[in-house]
Amino acid sequence: MEGQLQTRNVPNLTEIELAAIESGNNLADGHARYELTASQQKIINQLGEMYALAAEASPALLDQKAQSAFLTAVGQHSAMAGAEVLSCYSSSVAMEITARSLYTSGVRRVALIHPTFDNIPDILRGAGMDLTPMSEDSVMAGSGRLPAGAEVLFITTPNNPTGQVLLPEALTHWARECASKDAVLVLDSSFRGFDERAQYDHYAILVQEGCRYIIMEDTGKLWPTLDLKIGFLAFPRDERLPLHRIYTDILLGVSPLLMLLVQRFAEDAQDGGFSELHRFIRSNRALLRKRLSGIPATSFPDADSRISVERLALPAGFTGSDMRHALCERGVHVLPCRQFYWAEPEAGERYIRLALSRPPEMIRTAAAAICACIERG
């Protein structure tokens, strides 16, 4: 009953994102919404020929080539050799398959990073998992034990919305800790394309530590491809969870045209596209920070974040939820951070989240609206 009331009164982040989508000043969702680069445009101009190629080629080969191109571009060199990789239409589909596989195997107790994007706890709870929060700081510190009884440790890295990255020493620690308890280490790496610090070979470490793992890789946040994207679900070939079986309950596979598109964009990324993307996001982040630098008592708590969203801490007396509504009246759409703090919503009220994967003009407009709202009090 309480749960149903919650659902009616507080929108989830995706409902807020949806409401913003038709707006001119949509800095709500984390999807890439800006012009294609020149080399990306070239790929799109070849879509007709790519369709013909995809129709003729072996789907399995296209799948393998796209996976290999993407995983190589993000530094995951051991993945193809050691892991089974399943291609999904989005990383949320991969997450749903993961959660159902856990449930089917009798697993219930998941330790989950806090805060993180709300659809992760929502999908896991929806599939019957019991969640224990683990603070982002304790996860990233890479010391300490798993909470008692935890059968899964779920980490978003880089984390959304903070951009914090699980470094090699910390991954090694948790891999060892999970291996000693036969727990599964699940990583959502949807934002790793933005941050080279998250591009060391995770699979090599996990294999070396003998850890059971599931990794969700994602192209969805990286390229302005009108939501043509792939979520990869990767796990050891000998993993006993019924991931392949549940995948096939849901999908035969994804479109070979989509696989070919992902392959071409991944090759372009490796060939300078990622550098260009990193420059673009860095420049938008600097622009936002500069435009708001004159506003007293606001701050950017994630000094070293490289991902395509940015948290802003509001002055005392403002809440993220109120600020979101006030900005909405000025035609600017952002996310409140309350919902990211799934175990302690009030702690998220200090912040809003702004998307940086937008044209710079939109960042300027949003910054001006935020200044106006705060100055008015």
Q: How far is the CB of 47 from ligand EGV (least distance, A)?
A: 23
30 vs 345, beta carbon nearer ligand EGV = 30
In this structure, how many other beta carbons lie within 10 angstroms of the beta carbon of residue 113? 26
Residue bearing tokens 């909405």:
328
Spatial distance between the Cα atoms of 260 and 247, rounded to a whole number of angstroms: 21
Q: How far is the CB of 114 from ligand EGV (least distance, A)?
A: 16
Q: How far is the CB of 127 from ligand EGV (least distance, A)?
A: 14
Q: How far is the CB of 159 from ligand EGV (least distance, A)?
A: 11
160 vs 305, beta carbon nearer ligand EGV = 160
How would you label 74-90 residue by residue, b for 16+ Cβ within 10 Å and e otherwise?
Answer: bbbebbeeebebbbbbb
Residue 257: C-alpha distances to residues 42, 43, 69, 270 (Å): 16, 12, 15, 20
117 vs 247, beta carbon nearer ligand EGV = 117
CB 294 within 8 A of CB 339: no
Spatial distance between the Cα atoms of 203 and 68, rounded to a whole number of angstroms: 14
92 vs 305, beta carbon nearer ligand EGV = 92
Q: How far is the CB of 96 from ligand EGV (least distance, A)?
A: 10
Reduced 3-state DSSP string for 77-131: CCHHHHEEEEEECCHHHHHHHHHHHHHHCCCCEEEEEECCCCHHHHHHHHCCCEE
54 vs 362, beta carbon nearer ligand EGV = 362
Q: How far is the CB of 145 from ligand EGV (least distance, A)?
A: 29
Q: Half-sphere exposure of 38 toward its Cβ, with a 13 Å CA cutoff?
A: 2
CB 205 within 8 A of CB 175: yes
370 - beta bridge partners?
A: none
Kind plus residue range of the DSSP H or E element containing 68: helix 59-73
194 vs 213, beta carbon nearer ligand EGV = 194
Name the closest residue to ligand EGV (Cβ): 30
CB 193 within 8 A of CB 160: no
95 vs 183, beta carbon nearer ligand EGV = 95
Q: How far is the CB of 30 from ligand EGV (least distance, A)?
A: 3
| Footprint on this chain of ligand EGV (rule: CB under 6 A) | 14, 17, 29-30, 92, 117, 119, 160
Q: How far is CA 188 from the centre of its chain?
A: 7
